[in-house]
Amino acid sequence: MNIGVIGGSGFIGSHVVDKLVESGHKVTVFDITAPHRNDVLHKKIDITNLESTLQALEGNYDAIYLLAAMADVNDCYKNPISTVEVNVLGVANVLESCVKNDINRFIFASTVWVYGLSDETNVDEKSSLNITNREHIYTASKVSGETLIQSYQELYNQDFTILRYGIPYGPRARGGTVLPIFIRLASQGKPLTIQGDGLAHRKFIYVEDLAEGNVAALSDNARNQVINLEGPRNITVKEVAETVKEIFEDPVEIVYVDARPGDYAGKVVSNLKGKNDISWVPKTDFAEGARLYYNWFKKNLK
């Protein structure tokens, strides 16, 4: 297939590109920065500009992945307007460009953070989202994007797949997520800071497992479906800190501070639909994945 990956030079996107190439697809990376490999095409794109997006996506693509987003929740908190421009207007521009360029499938990187709007504790893809529940601007932008996607399918027959990611980690991770932050702090001999009581949980997902789920989503079974790409088990932020503490030989201090506004407390998110519909199962346990990331960190960032 001829596939475009918007945000293909980023942390998750670069791994998705790797798996797509390994699966035999022709890949174009749309990103401001060059991709990490030289056997794919590279084009620049500004998804906040419709004309730029329309022109960039000319080329008879079978599917477009949209992974580019403002995804650091702290950046989103500080820059709500930019968050909406990228995460909402950007989605609309890519959807419109897919329609105008007759692109068969639009695959969207969403997040399990949207379940913060659910009144349920145990959630799956059919769980209702209650927009009267107060949530983070990042969550609001992703729910808005998902709503636009559903509308474009209903009104303009634009087929889609929405993938709700768990919290990703692994090689090439940006510095703003919890494991890279803790690894960096520990390497500098600084304490690991936990916001809140540390009992908020996520099913952290190793990035290569996540990338494999993205490729599996090309299946016709995933057409016009929402699928959770969630990790194998619940991990508390406290366990993340304790895992990092075990990785390092030198003593690592853990300290607790007040929780940040609008943080995602965590739900019990089912990943059974991914197994049943696209034969995808996450394989990497957190302790193993954390060590794999640490080994990469030592070679590339330390």
Express each pLDDT in 24-45 by its tens digit.
999 999 999 999 999 999 999 9
Q: What is the pTM of this model?
A: 0.91
Contact between 56 and 30 (Cβ < 8 Å): yes
Cross-strand pairs, 41 = 28
d(CA 94, CA 57): 8
| Percentage of the chain exceeding pLDDT 70 | 97
Instruction: Please give the torsion angle defined by the CA atoms of residues 70, 74, 75 and 81, in that order, rounded to the nearest 10 degrees.
Output: 80
- pLDDT > 90? residue 302: no
Confidence at residue 269, expressed as pLDDT on a 0 to 100 scale: 92
d(CA 180, CA 271): 24
Mean pLDDT of 206-218: 98
Express each pLDDT in 250-272 by its tens digit.
899 999 998 776 565 668 899 99
d(CA 102, CA 61): 8
Confidence at residue 198, expressed as pLDDT on a 0 to 100 scale: 86
List Cα–Cα distances, 248 to 36, 189, 218, 235, 296, in angstroms: 29, 10, 40, 19, 14
> Which residue matches tokens 């980023």?
10
Looking only at Cα atoms, what is the longest distance across the chain? 59
Alpha carbon of residue 176 to chain centroid: 13
Rg (CA), the chain: 19
Contact between 302 and 187 (Cβ < 8 Å): yes
- pLDDT > 60? residue 180: yes
What does the block give as tokens for 280?
């995808």
Helices (H) and strands (E) in the chain, counts: 11, 15
d(CA 2, CA 20): 10
Q: Which residue has the higher pLDDT, 97 or 196?
A: 97
Q: Is 136 helix (H, G, I), strand (E, B) or coil?
A: coil
Beta-carbon contacts of residue 51 (< 8 Å; ≥ 6 apart): none
Contact between 204 and 263 (Cβ < 8 Å): no
Among 14-23, 55-64, 292-301, the least confident range: 292-301
